[in-house]
Chain A
Amino acid sequence: MKILKLTAIVFICCQLIFVQNARTGATNGNTLSAEAFYRKLSRYDKFSSLKTTFIQKKIIPDLNVQLEAEGTLSVKRPDTVVWEITKPSELKVLLDKNNLSIVSETKKESWPLEKIPPNIKEKLFIMKLWLQFDPRELYQRYTISEIKPNRLKFVPKEKSPIGFSSLEMHLHQKGYVSKLILREDSGDLLDFTFSKPEVKP
């Protein structure tokens, strides 16, 4: 269950990174300025809740396999996130201000955040960071560049506690995040494809 907890939190954290940060524009190939970054993700500037569907793919080069899952992401500001996988089996991860809960087909578990080990809490901190969307903090943590039009690359300025060597974000021409590609330190690749989000102001 620890594995599930850890991976769920890391994953939600990653989602919130790209969900809340598709704002600024950038000069192609160059580092984005803060203002440009904020403009790119203006769709996510002010909302009370957000819902979107996703398809996630995990490519494990060592095994030459690709694992797929589908589900729904719900965000309710200021600090509630629900990451719900529906295929291949049901798994729901809920994170609010004080607790983390994981619900599967067979069991439900819940932990107060204060009982959670610090390495996992660190990931939760990042997740909260994205939930609250502090652009200065994000800008401080990542070097953001536009490698192609509407394609942003986030490189951690320091070694990332969530174990990703890089994050790539694709923005739809309508301004929402359509894809997020993460490369884990182990070499595995995570590919998340998102539909247009329902955003409530």
Chain B
Amino acid sequence: MPRIILCVSIFLSFNLNFAFAGGRFIDDGQEIFFPKELGGKLAAYKDFPVTWWNFLVWDLGKTPDSETWEKMGELCKALKNQKADLIKSLECRQDVIQYKEIIQDWVQDLPLRHPFPGEEQFGKVLKRALTKASLPMGSEILSLIRQDPFESYEELIRLSSDKAGIQIDRTEGFFYDPAFKRVVVPVQFKFPPERDALTKEFTLAFLNLCKERDLCGRWALLGPHGSTLENKAQIMNDVSNVSVAGLITMGGFSIFLILIKRARLLLLTPPVLLSFALTTLLTIVFFSTIHGLTMAFGIGNIGLSQDYGVHCAFNRGKKSVWKSNTVCFFTTAIVLFVLCFSKTPLITQLMFFSLCGITIAFIIFWAMFRWFPHRFEVAPFPIHPDPSKAKALLVAAVCIGGICIALGLSPNMNLSAMDYQSENQKMFRKWIYDKLDKKNLLFEVTKSLPKEESAGWSQERFTWARNHSIKAENAALYLPDPEVQRQNLSTWKKFFCSKPEGISPPGSLERTFFFPFFEIYNCQSLTKRTPVSGRNRGYASGFFSQDKEISFWFPIDEMQRQQIVQNYPQADSLKELSNVFTHILIKELKWMTPLSLFAILALLFFYFRRSFLTFVTLIPFFTAVGLYFCSIPIFKSEFSFVSVIGLLIVCGISVDYGVFATDVLRRREEEQGGVWSGILLAAITTIATFVPLVFSRHPVLIQLGQTVSLGIVGAVLGAFWGIPYFMKTFRKNSSEV
């Protein structure tokens, strides 16, 4: 049964499922990698606009002259204008105009942040502002002075610039590294990273503007939005390429089957498709959503069920076929069932999906061959294994070599295995990492509290950090606690209500010129003012999201980090959060793997009733795993948790081959061609399905393709060269078999 056809059919089935599900049931977030509580923290972190900073980095290729700097200024201005709906902040130069949106809130809240400076000082402030205003200046700057004679915007600009957190000097106003002739522009988006279509819109606009001005060599967008876009784009590219390759291979294989007069095998596709569709629906019903990775990896597990159909198709009329199939089903189901108890929601969902899938497919195949066997049976190929000592030694060498290499491996079990980085991204990330001063941050997220408590929550953390000389950022950086706000406000109210015309009588130059200021600062307006939390203020709203608030610490060393963790146990770091997945996975594999193997052994022993047969059945499993591990140093590939999932698929398939081969040999059946035909054809189609993945660029697809392809080759070696030789040898030495 060509799995290539299966691929295409499943691809079509995908579309049906998507059409049915309307997309709203498909989950592509990362929260599913973590236990619920921790996944919620990660999701919460990404919800805050203050975390939506990225770095736009590009190489100029030459030392910039004044014309180049001017062009870059124009590029920034054009980009801001064109994509104003996407960009909250684009820190090209230290330009006060870019803060226009938040300055008004900031100026209005001056009476909350600071007490009234006194009548004399207030008079001096107005005079200073008038002095400046008398100089030549643009209308926007003049307008700013008119509404903010206290120049409070300077503090806002300093705080906003610090947020970028990059240790590169400015040249001509830009963050510029002369050693690399590299420019960095911090950019904060108005949308979360998942909305990659908007990120793409931004990058396309940047690229066009850059090309028009002949400014860009290599470039990249570094940060959560850039990373999400790159990964999704690469997966889509790879899936298209792999689908095309798959379609071509499928077409060719279908023609091959027709030419060798075994086209009936094509009829084994629909059951698996149907099973996939039903399983998707079941998973959505049970979990309310289904993750894209579940569908992507789950296909492989459901595809195992095709072995049952192929085995039946080539072994017409043999009653023992379904005994073997049943054992194969249960050995696979055991592994999936054990893994269902993982604390990682993705693995639980994936195993549930796979278990349901193969169960449904198994039932459908059984029904098909029970009631319509003649429609699906095909003549086997005249294949018989030709065991020899040399081949058996090779099999043994692969097993032993694989074990030795596996013992020396350090698997990469963290989420970085899922991360695709282009060459530009890799290079720029490595360069910028040393220049960030906020890379070891800790954060804490809280649910919504009443306004008074909310300010207290952030204020308490900020004050504690300041008292311990630890840098912190939250809403309290911009606003004092409500009591202090109230006190400050009262001093302003006292002056403006008691001496409304003391400083600037109506008709005076000050009253006329600073009219926008006096519109906000008068007795009536100030009386209506109340303390604020920052949630609705443009300069601090980034720390709030829906009903949650976030606070950050930036420890400079381990001692500070420990202090923070001791005082605020709820504080997390992104690095540690991603390590949680690793720790949980390793801990679980330590008991799940031996338990699964033991359960398989027990089941096989129960079936075969002979220790030797039980172990011989596992030869394809050991050669499959062994060949994969032997290939790691040769191909310099990485062993990650993606490989672990691939090995799960391989485990199921290899044990199936082992059961089929052992069964047919122990029964000493004369007609063995059906079993070997089934194993070989199933292996060929599986390999043909997964090999195209090796030529993609995303690490997830490459690793999955490598693991399964090599594993199947190893399993076939074990089935054809290992089992027959050891069975033959054992029979010579024992009359019991």
Contacts and interface: CB of A to CB of B under 8 A. Distances in A.
B503 interface: no
A118 B134 contact: no
A58 B134 CA distance: 5
Contact of B132 (A3, A63, A106, A162): A3
A186 B132 contact: no
A63 B137 contact: no
- Describe B's contact surface by its main secondary structure: helix
Given A89-B131, A105-B128, A118 B136 contact: no
Given A63-B513, A89-B124, A104-B128, A117 B134 contact: no
B63 interface: no
Contacts of B169: 115
A108 to B, nearest CB: 14
Contact of B73 (A89, A115, A118): A118
Given A1-B154, A118-B69, A68 B172 contact: no
Nearest to B67: A118
Which among A3, A4, A69, A116 has the greatest number of chain B C-beta atoms within 10 A?
A3
A7 B135 contact: yes
A67 B489 CA distance: 31
Interface string A115-127: 1111101100000
Contacts of B139: 186
B154 to A, nearest CB: 6
B96 A67 contact: no
B520 to A, nearest CB: 18
B261 interface: no
B513 A88 contact: no
B220 to A, nearest CB: 25
A91 interface: yes
Nearest to B139: A186
A52 to B, nearest CB: 18
A186 B135 CA distance: 13
B486 interface: no
Interface in B87-135: 93-96, 124, 127-128, 130-135
A186 B138 contact: yes
Contact of B124 (A68, A105, A121): A105
Contacts, number: 101
Contacts of A186: 138-139, 142
A118 B70 contact: yes
Interface string B157-170: 00000000000011
Contacts of A45: none
Contact of A118 (B141, B145, B173): B173
Given A1-B154, A118-B69, A163-B136, A7 B172 contact: no
A14 interface: yes
Interface string A93-125: 000000000001110000000111111011000
A142 interface: no
A11 B136 CA distance: 6
A41 interface: no
B566 interface: no
Nearest to A13: B136
Contacts of B130: 67, 69, 88-89
B480 to A, nearest CB: 22
A34 interface: no
Contact of B94 (A2, A66, A69): A2
B137 A7 contact: yes
A7 B59 CA distance: 33
A85 interface: yes
A136 to B, nearest CB: 21
B144 interface: yes
Contacts of A116: 172-173
Interface string A61-80: 00111111100000000000
A163 B173 contact: no
Majority secondary structure, A binding face: mixed
A42 to B, nearest CB: 28
A2 B96 contact: yes
A91 B133 CA distance: 12
A184 interface: yes
B146 to A, nearest CB: 9
B449 interface: no
B171 interface: yes
Contacts of B66: 118, 121-122
A6 interface: yes
Given A2-B96, A88-B127, A89-B131, A67 B509 contact: yes
B131 A7 contact: no
A8 interface: yes
B637 interface: no
Contacts of B138: 163, 186
Contact of A6 (B124, B134, B141, B154): B141
A14 B173 CA distance: 24
Contacts of A14: 136
Nearest to B509: A65
A14 to B, nearest CB: 7
A184 B73 contact: no
Nearest to B153: A3
A104 B70 CA distance: 31
B388 interface: no
A10 B136 CA distance: 7
Contact of B131 (A57, A88, A115): A88
Interface in A161-176: 162-164
Nearest to A62: B139
A182 interface: yes
A188 B137 CA distance: 9
Contacts of B136: 7, 10-11, 14, 162-164, 182, 184, 188, 190
Contacts of A118: 66, 69-70, 73, 172-173
A119 B76 CA distance: 14
Given A10-B135, A58-B133, A114 B512 contact: no
A3 to B, nearest CB: 5
Contacts of A164: 136
Contacts of A56: 134
Contact of B172 (A2, A60, A117): A117
Contact of B134 (A1, A63, A67, A115): A67
Nearest to B145: A3
A188 B94 CA distance: 25
Contacts of A115: 169-172
A184 B172 CA distance: 25
A47 B151 CA distance: 39
A8 B136 CA distance: 8
Contacts of B95: 2
B606 to A, nearest CB: 79
B499 to A, nearest CB: 20
Interface string A130-157: 0000000000000000000000000000
A89 B134 contact: no
B505 to A, nearest CB: 15
A184 to B, nearest CB: 6
Contacts of B512: 63-65
A119 B66 CA distance: 10
Contact of A3 (B69, B70, B137, B173): B137
Given A10-B136, A88-B127, A3 B94 contact: no
B669 to A, nearest CB: 86
A191 to B, nearest CB: 11
Contacts of A117: 73, 93-94, 172-173
List 10 tightest A-B contacts by C-beta distance, closest first: A7-B135, A117-B173, A67-B134, A88-B127, A89-B127, A7-B137, A69-B134, A186-B139, A3-B141, A10-B136
Given A3-B96, A6-B141, 7 more contacts: A3-B141, A115-B171, A118-B66, A118-B73, A118-B173, A121-B172, A164-B136
Interface of B: 66, 69-70, 73, 93-96, 124, 127-128, 130-139, 141-142, 144-145, 151, 154, 169-173, 509, 512-513
11 contacts: A1-B154, A2-B94, A3-B132, A7-B136, A10-B136, A88-B130, A89-B127, A91-B131, A115-B170, A117-B94, A119-B73
